Amino acid sequence: MIRAWMATAFLGFAAASCSRAPAPPRAETVSVVIDKVVFQQVETHAKVGYTIEWVNKDLFTHTSTSRDPQWDLTIEPGQSAKAVMTHAGTFDYFCRLHPNMTGRVIIGK
């Protein structure tokens, strides 16, 4: 009788374990440092759903502005700003206050 109970309990546990859906992939945050009036990572790679965080280590305010209307962030000195990447593609961006500052985000699936 105990054996039958243990077998039933084990089968119930195994069925519950197998029926679980796999955990969705964990979205990550990828950082781009701004220092000495330059985006330190000229090209950044991420996946759809990831967050890109621009970290301003400069003494000046900067922006991260995509050339198409994906994002336009203002980043104060010592602060950061984030954008979630919602679809795949290659996105060029620049600083509106310092147009010579440019970068590229490549988002894969």
Q: Going by DSSP bridges, is the β-strand pair 102-108/89-94 parallel, antiparallel, or unpaired?
A: antiparallel
Q: Report whether 64 contacts 86 (CB < 8 A).
A: no
Residue 83, pLDDT score: 97
Q: How far apart are CA 47 and CA 41, in angstroms?
A: 16
Write out pLDDT tens, residues 45-91. 999 999 999 999 999 999 999 999 899 999 999 999 999 999 999 99
Q: Domains in the chain, please, with CATH? A: 25-108 (2.60.40.420)
Residue 60, pLDDT score: 95
- Percent of the chain past pLDDT 70, that is, above it, reads 76
Residues with Cβ within 8 Å of residue 106, at least 6 apart in sequence:
43, 44, 45, 46, 89, 90, 91
Can you read off the two tokens belonging to residue 30?
């990828």
